[in-house]
Structure 1
Amino acid sequence: MITIFDWFGYEAPHQKRYELIKQAGFDGVLLYWSDEFGNVDYKHNAELARQEGLFVENIHTSFDNINDLWMDNLSGNEITDYLMQCVDDCNEYEIPTMIVHITSGECPPKANILGINRIRKITERAEQLGVNVALENLRNIENLGKVFDNIHSSRLGFCFDSGHQNYRSKNTDLLSMYGDRLMAIHLHDNDESADQHRMPFDGNINWELVMKKLTHINYKGPTALEIMNMGYEHIKESREFLAIAFERAKRLDALR
C-alpha cells in the first residue's frame, strides 16, 4: 500500500485534494491534526478522505511550542492536554496511530522526568483506548532514546523519518535501533543541506539501503511519502506532481 501526507504543497480544498490523491493511485493519507494553518474543520478530513476511498493511516500532531513539553509551565500542560485529546480523537475517528514530535529547533531541551512523565500519561491513555503513539526522529535523537528507555509499552513506538535522519543524524542507524518499535514511516529526500521534503531519488539518500532495512526488520506497513512541492515549481499542476510521486513510491516498493 502507498500513502501520502495530505498537505503536499498545492492549494486546493481538502475534498478535491483527496480526490486527486485517489486518482493518482494512492491508497491512503496521513492527516495534519490541528487548526493552526487555518484548517478549522480538520477533524472532518478523515471522513472526507474516506469518502474518496482512501484510508487514514495516521495523524500528525502539532509541534507548535513542543519544546515546552519538557518545561514546568502552562504551555507544557496545554501541550500535554492537546496530545491527550489527540488520543481521544484517534479513538473517536477510528485512526490507529498518531505521530508526535517531542522536540523542535536547533537547541531543544534535554529529556527530564517531567517530560517523560507527561509522555507516560499520554501513553497510558493510548493503552486504554488502543491507539498507537509514534515518536518521530528529529535533530535531537537523545530525547527519543531516553523516552524509550523509560517507557515500555506496546502502544508507544517509533516513526522513522528518512529525511530527518539524512539531514540530522545520517550516521545513526535508527531503523536498527528502534525497528522493533516501528509504527510508521515518513519517506522523503534531501541533499543534507536542509530538511527539503523532496521526492525520493531527488536527493542523496541510499534508498536501496533504507528499503532493505525496512524489509529486514519485517516492516509491513504502507510506503508513506511526506513530500512537498518546494523545488518543483516547474510542475504547475498538482495532478502531475502526484502522478510523479506515485511512480517514485512504486520504485521504492520495488526495492523492498
Structure 2
Amino acid sequence: MISIYDWFGYEVPIEDRYKLIKAAGFDGVLLWWSNGFGRGADYRDGVQYARNAGLIIENIHTPVQEQNKLSLDNLDGEGLIKCYLQCIKDCAEFDIPTMVVHLPDDKYPINELGMERIKRIVEKAEKLNINVAMENLRNIDNVTRVLDSIDSNKIGFCYDSCHHENYYSERDLLGKYGKRLMAMHLHDNGGVRGQHQLPFDGNINWERVMGEIEGSGYKGATTLEPMNWGYEDLSMQEFLSNAYKKAKKLEEKRIG
C-alpha cells in the first residue's frame, strides 16, 4: 500500500483533493487532525471525503502547536493532554487505527508529571485499541524515555526519514525501535527549507533507509510526507503523479 500526507499544499476544495490523490494512484492518506495551518474547522469531514474517494485512512497527525507543554503544571499542560485523549477518542469514533504524536523537543525534558500524562494516554489507547506512534524530531531523548519506559503494544514509533537525517543521523533509530514501528513519514532533505522534499531530490540514502525498514519487519504502507515547497510550478496533478512514481520506487526497494 502507498499513502501520502493529505495537506501538502495547493488551494483545492477538500473533496476534490482526495479524488486527485486517488486518481494519482495512492491507496491511502494520513489526515492532519486540527484546524491549524489553514486546514479549517471542517477537518473531520475529511474522513468521509477520503473514504468516498476510495482511500484508506492510515492515521491522523495530532496537533503540534502546543507539543512542548506536556510537562507543564498549568492549564496549558492539562489542555494538551486533553487534546491527545480526545484524538484517541476520535480515532475510535472514526475507525482510524493510529495517531501520530510529537513529543516535546529535548530542551523540554519530560518530567514525572509528563510521564503521568503519557500513562493516561497509554490507558486510553489500550482501552480503545488505538495505536499511538511517537515521531522523531529534535526530541530523541524524550522519545527514548517514553518508548523505553512504556511496555505497551499500543505505544510505538513513527519514523521520519528527513528528521532523522537532519537532526540525529548518528542514532540508529530503526535498529532500536524498528520492531515498534507503527507509522512512517518519508521525505527528503533538499530544497530551501531542507525538508519535506520528494524522495530522491535530497541527500538521503534510500537504499539504506528502505532496507532498514524492511529489515524491521514492518508491513505497513510506504508513506510520503512531502510539501510542494519548491514545486510550486507543478500543478497539483503533476505533483501527485511525481510523488506516486517516487513512492513506487521506494516500495520496490522494500521488496527488491
TM range (shorter): over 0.9
TM-superposed deviation, 1:112: 1.2
TM-superposed deviation, 1:234: 2.5
Q: Distance in 1 between matches of 2:55 and 2:153?
A: 26
TM-superposed deviation, 1:72: 1.1
Query: Where does residue 246 of structure 2 map in the other structure?
Result: 248
**Structure 1, unpaired ranges of 5+:** none
Q: Distance in 2 between matches of 1:171 and 1:135?
A: 19
Aligned CA distance change for structure 1 residues 162 and 192 (closer, same or farther; 3 Å): farther
Q: Secondary structure at 1:100's aligned position in 2?
A: strand
Query: Where does residue 152 of structure 2 map in the other structure?
Result: 153
Query: Where does residue 122 of structure 1 map in the other structure?
Result: 121
Query: Where does residue 44 of structure 1 map in the other structure?
Result: 45
Count of matched residue positions in the alignment of Structure 1 and Structure 2:
253
Contact residue 3 and residue 27 of structure 1 kept, 8 A = yes
Contact residue 167 and residue 191 of structure 1 kept, 8 A = no
- What are the superposed Cα offsets for residues 2-23 of structure 1, whole Å, 9 maximum, x if unpaired? 0000011111111100000000
Q: Secondary structure at 2:204's aligned position in 1?
A: coil
Q: Distance in 2 between matches of 1:72 and 1:60?
A: 25
Select between 113-122 and 125-134 the one with higher mean Cα deviation.
Answer: 113-122
* Letter aligned with residue 170 of structure 1: S
- What are the superposed Cα offsets for residues 109-157 of structure 1, whole Å, 9 maximum, x if unpaired? 1121111110110111010000000000011200000111221100000
Identity among equivalent positions (%) equals: 51
Contact residue 49 and residue 55 of structure 1 kept, 8 A = yes
Query: Where does residue 65 of structure 1 map in the other structure?
Result: 66
Query: Where does residue 224 of structure 2 map in the other structure?
Result: 225
Query: Where does residue 237 of structure 2 map in the other structure?
Result: 239
TM-superposed deviation, 1:217: 0.9
1:56 aligns with 2:57: yes
Query: Where does residue 172 of structure 1 map in the other structure?
Result: 171
TM-superposed deviation, 1:249: 0.3
* Letter aligned with residue 49 of structure 2: L
Query: Where does residue 26 of structure 2 map in the other structure?
Result: 26
Contact residue 116 and residue 150 of structure 1 kept, 8 A = no
TM-superposed deviation, 1:195: 4.5
Contact residue 58 and residue 97 of structure 1 kept, 8 A = yes
Q: Distance in 2 between matches of 1:38 and 1:146?
A: 32
TM-superposed deviation, 1:233: 2.4
Contact residue 167 and residue 190 of structure 1 kept, 8 A = yes
Select between 114-123 and 48-57 the one with higher mean Cα deviation.
Answer: 114-123
* Letter aligned with residue 238 of structure 2: E
Select between 147-156 and 21-30 the one with higher mean Cα deviation.
Answer: 147-156
What is the alpha-carbon root mean square deviation over aligned residues?
1.3
- What are the superposed Cα offsets for residues 71-126 of structure 1, whole Å, 9 maximum, x if unpaired? 1111010000010000000000000000000124xx63112111111011011101
Select between 145-154 and 82-91 the one with higher mean Cα deviation.
Answer: 145-154
* Letter aligned with residue 241 of structure 2: A
Q: Distance in 1 between matches of 2:162 and 2:104?
A: 16
TM-superposed deviation, 1:70: 1.5
TM-superposed deviation, 1:192: 9.7
After TM superposition, the runs of 4+ consecutive aligned structure 1 residues lying more than 3 A away are 191-195
Q: Secondary structure at 1:184's aligned position in 2?
A: strand
Q: Distance in 2 between matches of 1:193 and 1:114?
A: 38
Q: Distance in 2 between matches of 1:183 and 1:201?
A: 24
Q: Secondary structure at 1:183's aligned position in 2?
A: strand
**Structure 2, unpaired ranges of 5+:** none
Q: Distance in 1 between matches of 2:11 and 2:168?
A: 32
Q: Distance in 2 between matches of 1:208 and 1:120?
A: 37
Aligned CA distance change for structure 1 residues 38 and 49 (closer, same or farther; 3 Å): closer
Contact residue 167 and residue 194 of structure 1 kept, 8 A = no
